[in-house]
Amino acid sequence: MSTPTPFEPVPKTTSDWLVAAKKAKVENTSLFSFRDHCSASKVTKPQFLSFRTLVIPRKVQDFNPARWGLGQKLVTATQELNQSPDFQNLLNAIRNPPAPPTGDFSQILKMHAEVTRDIENNYPEKLQKADETPVNVSLICLLQGIADIATGPVVRWRHTKVQFEAIFGSLPGGVKRGMLAIMDGQLQSTVSHEVRAIVECKRHERAPQDNMIGMQEAALFVAWIKEYSRYPNLSRVLVSQDSMQLYITFAETPLKWREFLLQNKTSGNTRSFMRLHRFGPWDLGQANHVNQAAAILLAITK
């Protein structure tokens, strides 16, 4: 008899998690005692449950900047975007093609055309297939263009993919038990090089019940926080793009959950959870969506 799937979709409440965790027999498991860790891109459902993480979808209109310490920063970011000729030209180009965008955004729409390009009949399909590369490149270029609008930015969005390694403990003989996670880019300080936000990209739009993307994104947060627990001393943020859909995820990491992650503490009757508040999607083909998302993306660089 096959083992029933622990959950469908990814748990977003503690009661959902407990039901699924009992099915997978990981309700009292620490990350060190879980034996079958895979890399973030191949995370399994029992492994995800061992993270004690909830993925909570949020609508765009539900975003409250004050909740994430971005109240005044968002006001400043909005003013800077409104005063940027190049950004306003980008919005105009989206609204009124073929009006050309300018400056740092001059190639963005050409990149987006590569993301959305259809397969043409009567030509070899093999030579037309696309992977997530144009999504990745266009997103980092858009993010950096937005960041450069600020006066004297001290952060930079990088194309280079940093690899995080979460080590949960060592077995007899010195064998380490852990998990690897590779980002699709990240926002880093130009001074300390600390990672301020991470990036994840997919070629296709995510389906409403797509478990794999949510589980992988949770694994990225776990590896990032585990390896670099002391900084940044701010909200952890993930920017993800699936085809032309943009999401911004803010991680809520209570002290008790960080003790569970960093010290393998599972004692006590009250479990603590990381909550990933995933806002979106914003449609990058709509100027008003780009305008709204850009204000948040510029605010998180401050």
Express each pLDDT in 211-257 by its tens digit: 899 999 999 999 999 999 886 566 799 999 999 999 999 999 999 99
Query: Rounded to an integer, what distance in angstroms lies between the CA atom of residue 214 and that of residue 231?
Result: 24
* Structure confidence by residue, pLDDT tens digits, 157-175: 999 999 999 999 988 888 8
Task: pLDDT band for 2, please (50, 70, 90 cuts).
Answer: very low
* Two tokens, residue 259: 């003790």
The pLDDT of 204-216, averaged and rounded, is: 89
- For the chain, give the mean pLDDT: 92
What's the pLDDT at 171?
A: 86
Q: Which two tokens stand for residue 156?
A: 């930079």
Strand partners, 275: 54, 252
152/162 Cα distance (integer angstroms)? 24
DSSP 243: T
- Write down the pLDDT at residue 233: 60
Q: How far apart are the first and last CA of the chain?
A: 54
